[in-house]
Amino acid sequence: MPSELERAMESFIQVFHRYSSTEGSSGTLSRRELKTLMETELSTFLKSQKDPGAVDRMMRDLDTNGDGEVNFEEFVALVVGLSVACEQCYQLAKLGKK
Ligand SMILES: [Ca+2]
Ligand 1: centre distance to CA 95 (Å):
38
Stretch 3-26: mean pLDDT? 96
The parent domain of residue 10 ranges over: 4-97
Ligand 1: centre distance to CA 43 (Å):
23
DSSP state for residue 98 in the 8-state scheme: -
- For 15-50, letters b (16+ CB in 10 Å) and e give bbeebbeeeeeeebbbeebbbbbbeebbeeeeeebe
Residue 8: per-residue pLDDT? 93
Per-residue pLDDT at 30 exceeds 90: yes
Domain count, the chain: 1
Ligand 1: centre distance to CA 92 (Å):
33
Residue 35: per-residue pLDDT? 92
Ligand 1: centre distance to CA 63 (Å):
4
Tens digits of residue pLDDT in 31-90: 999 999 998 998 877 766 666 788 888 899 999 999 999 999 999 999 998 889 889 988
We report the CATH number of the domain holding residue 80 as: 1.10.238.10
* DSSP assignments along 43-91, one per residue: TTTTTT--STTHHHHHHHHH-TT-SSSEEHHHHHHHHHHHHHHHHHHHH
Q: Which of 47, 50, 23 is nearest to 34 (CA)?
A: 23
Q: Which of 23, 17, 22 is nearest to 71 (CA)?
A: 17
Per-residue pLDDT at 98 exceeds 80: no
Ligand 1: centre distance to CA 69 (Å):
4
Ligand 1: centre distance to CA 25 (Å):
12
Confidence of residue 11 (pLDDT cuts 50, 70, 90): very high
